[in-house]
Amino acid sequence: MYEHRDTRCIHGDLERPAFEATRAVSFPIYQTATFGHIGFGKSSGFDYTRETNPTRGKLEETMSSLEGAVDTCAFSSGMAAVSACFELLSPGQHIVCSEDLYGGVIRLFDKVSIKNGLSVDYVDTGSRDAIEAAITQDTAALYIETPSNPMMNVADLRACHEIAEEHGLLLIVDNTFLSPYLQNPIELGADLVIHSGSKFIAGHNDTISGFVSSGTPELAERIRLIHKTTGAALSPFDSWHVLRGIKTLGIRMERQESNAQELARWLSTQPGVAQVFYVGLEDHPGYAVNASQARGAGAMISFRTDTVEIAHRVLERVKLITFAESLGGTESLITYPMVQTHPDVPEAVREHLGITDTLLRLSVGLENVDDLKSDLSQALSS
């Protein structure tokens, strides 16, 4: 009904059922494990919260509206959402995956998926040739992060869709870094879209959650079966938390991106900073592709310092910015990927990707950008 995403963040898609007869402006928390039956063979549509819950349903409807999805399932974490996608695959099948991605997903592949009979090849998914060279007769899925974590590499989603369609692959895209406010992979051919809802969607560093949005009814049915059967459904209270956070997604993304644009340009001029990775900078290799498939560059910056001593000094000295894992909240966070998000990645692979002891990742928040510059300036100074 409504074309503008900032309106959908607040109201969802009003053409879909809202499940709430009282029309409460703040959607209620249905904190119940079970629901009474109307009569024999009759149901209100809700039986048991692991399967369906009105609060979670409202959140899922809002996410589907934002992603242009047939259906969305809300999970207890981003990793639970990723795990559900790989439950679609069978032993003996093969996945082609972005080589630069969240370390927890690499751990899932290397410690769990391989044990379950799946095989994985990590490639530069910014290169069409690299993707096609990795595809075998057993390949069933192409898994993409764009922009990637933490090196901010960009994959061409249209090209990935063409490859997936040609070879009959499931195209799975992690859209966490840009959120549905700035990028909609289903519109570009993705079959499934994953979010760590703990990040920009919830937006306040206070709730863990995850989402899988499905592009077709068949996939939606399969994911929902996995969702209710494996049991990693988001609780009613956490669903309400995320639903409250998502109302301000648009205005937060706009301010955080504005801050990140200015901060990335400023960092590029600072002594002690060797390189800045931000897809909103014109000299970024993926700038043009990202601009063609997304409505913005987001609020994630990685940068390399001249020495490891400078990197450690920044982590020790920041005051306004918090040295912590995670990203996407109102508060700016700085992370040391080598130690915090990617410690399970083999050292040789980290070196190949550029995840070294001088690399820092910055999630830009809502603070005044001049205060963020002052904090980083004092932290960088010798």
Q: Which of 2, 13, 50, 107 is catalytic?
A: 50
* Adjacency order of strands within the sheet including 333-335: 273-277, 300-305, 359-363, 333-335, 322-323
Joined together, the tokens standing for residue 236 give 């009613």
Radius of gyration of the chain (CA): 21
Indicate the pLDDT class of residue 307, thresholds 50, 70 and 90: very high
Class of domain 5-246: alpha beta
* Active-site residue, selected from the candidate residues 30, 102, 181, 278: 102
State residue 291's pLDDT score. 98
Global confidence as pTM: 0.96
Look at residue 174 and give its three-state secondary structure: strand
Q: What is the mean pLDDT of residues 44-51?
A: 90
Contact (CB, 8 A) for 313 and 379: yes
Q: Where are the alpha helices (DSSP H) in 156-197?
A: 157-167, 179-182
Predicted pLDDT of residue 1: 54
- The per-residue pLDDT for 262 is 98
Catalytic residue among 199, 224, 252, 350: 199
Q: Which residues pair with 156 in a beta bridge?
A: none
Residue 175's pLDDT band, with cuts at 50, 70 and 90, is very high
**Could you give the angle at which helices 369-380 and 249-267 cross, rounded to 10 degrees?**
40
Could you count the other beta carbons within 10 Å of the beta carbon of residue 62? Answer: 28
Average pLDDT, the chain: 95
Average pLDDT over residues 130-137: 98
Residue 337 contacts residue 300 (beta carbons within 8 Å): no
DSSP string over 9-48: HHH--TTS----TT--SS------SB---SBTTB--S-SB
199 catalytic? Reply is: yes
Q: Coil, strand, or helix at residue 97? A: strand
Location of each CATH 3.90.1150.10 domain in the chain = 249-380
Least confident range from 12-26, 246-260, 352-366: namely 12-26
CATH fold of 249-380: Aspartate Aminotransferase, domain 1 (3.90.1150)
DSSP secondary-structure letter at 64? H
107 tagged catalytic = no
Exposed / middle / buried, residue 312 (Cβ in 10 Å: 0-12, 13-18, 19+): middle
The per-residue pLDDT for 363 is 98
Phi and psi at 89, nearest 5°, equal -95, 160
- How far lies 91's CA from each of 141, 143, 225, 285, in Å? 13, 17, 19, 37
Region(s) of the chain under CATH 3.40.640.10: 5-246
